[in-house]
Chain A
Amino acid sequence: MPVINIGGITDAISGAMDELTAVKEKAQDAIQTGTNVIRAGLETIPQVLPQMLPAAAAALATLNYRGSQGSFLDIGYPITLAAKFMQISQEDNEHLGRPLMQPKRLEQLAGFTLCKNPQIVINGSIEEEEAIQTILASGFYIE
């Protein structure tokens, strides 16, 4: 709820009824003293106004707002980078290796190796050459 902060008028608000009665009497006096009501009113403003306006203004005072209520709600939350990870099955690097996907001189590698479409030329029989290519394509161990 907005807080009404009207300073010294707060006191005037609490005594509004009493002051309205006084205003009534003062106004009636002002009217009775002169035939020209407006002139009488103008002349009595310095006397009437100080008593009338506090009560009247207080009686009719409203509070106008600018701005909307801000929020400190976001300040309570830390900045968070949250991550969720899905686990994968146990690894067997010795017998299955890991993806490499590039041309390699085989002497630079060790252990299990799997090749794609291997090509090799040996000083041997065609059967031996085909056997080597079959083994390279099905997985072998460089030891």
Chain B
Amino acid sequence: MSLTHAYRITQNPENAVPHYNALARRSLLKSLGFAAGWNMVGGGVHKAKAASRAPTRIVFFYTENGTLQSAWKPEASAGKTVATETDFQLGELLRPALSQHQKDLLIIENLDMISCDLDVTPFGGSHQRMQVHGLTGAPRLRPEVAGTPSVDQIIGKAINSPAAVTAFPSLTFASGRSYGDQLMNWSAAGQYLVPEGNIMTAYNRLVGAIKPGASATAAAIAAQKRKMVYDTLNADFGDLKPRLSKNDLLKVDAHASGLADLEMRLGLGSNATCVAPDKANAQAASTPADTRAFWDKNADAFLRLVTTSLACDLTRVVNLQFGGLMPEEITGYQGDIHLGVVHGVSGDTSLAQLKRMSGYANMVKYHQWYAQQFANLIAMLKSIPEGEPGETLLDHTVIFWHQNMAAGGHDPHAMPYVLAGNANGFFRTGRYIKYNRRAATAEESAINNLDGDKAKAPPTRGLPHNNLLVSLANSMGVPITTIGNPKCCTGPLPELR
């Protein structure tokens, strides 16, 4: 399926369903065998092939600590003077690994975490603050605690309502170190999900849900037994809950409702074509070592788990987070260039300035390593045929590469966002979308944004990143029009489609 063709499906009036009201649309989707809200995007439904279309999946691919923006930005193609929407070459950081996938990418420039600007909650850790904002776009409850659910959890919950459709509503993995510090996935205010950083724990959890050859009878018996156990547990919870304090009740209630969800999910397995990932590969990546070779293996093992979980339809929402890896581990450079180089740059550091900095070449290698992991995931998804002849898993997926900041100076403005995959034709890829910047408002400038130094905040703003989060939810068939702080969300980004 060509990308332009995919785009046309949603735009062609012949294929588009007229604007029903929400109820009517839900009935229609139900009659087509979909869960409410499924594939219902932008006022159109993929009518022609809707019933047979592979489900849309989303991967939140996270790397941290910002990029070197002038080396990240797309450049003019050879022989040209300016980069345009469709005629450009990738910047130095992305080029080596990703130019072969350029037609599957959307490079998005000038989205800002304006929600950070408007958040009066005490500052807290500068990294954690932006990790919370990254996928929520909303004021925090406490310095490092989200006050609203994150978009990945909103999507996971919506597509698994009213009944679970996959064994896991979402999965969250982490390659790298210090993953306990990266809390960016929130099911509700104050309720975080810890990314699983142990490859074998992640492997066993995933493989445990693949139940090849289970007969319908066996599944029914297992469900009957589960119901007997869970009825008993529900009665235990019923005894306990009225006696608890308000705070304890919040937690125990979350536990009880999670159990109800689990009872349903445990009945769901993988799809028929599911192949479990190679265990030896995961085991080989399970004993940490401070070497590049180890992190290569570890990243590869996690990428395989991500691919399996999507290919087997065990979940449709995956987070993969890279954290805590120091440039010297990736590049072999002896010295702390992360802190040395990265913190020395900001969004307006020019390429010429960057290149004069000692350690620049190693910093480039560091970022290129992440781009390589991103490219490896694209390649893995492309290697799985799915749907129509010629289509692959990537055609039914969008990978969102997000970060906690734009550049090393803890600046949440002009975020280096990249999408890969068109999400069943929702996004039109192979393009470079550069939004305009405008002067910052007084309110946006009022907060001490960069490590308490108001003077360091840039004078301009792009569009709010909340808008992109809305578009991502829409691409997954979740028909929200706003997310997070409504003051910095003006709806989805039509330019991406």
Chain A complexes with chain B: no
What residues make up the interface of B, taking CB atoms closer than 8 Å to A?
none
- Chain A: residues with CB nearer than 8 A to chain B? none
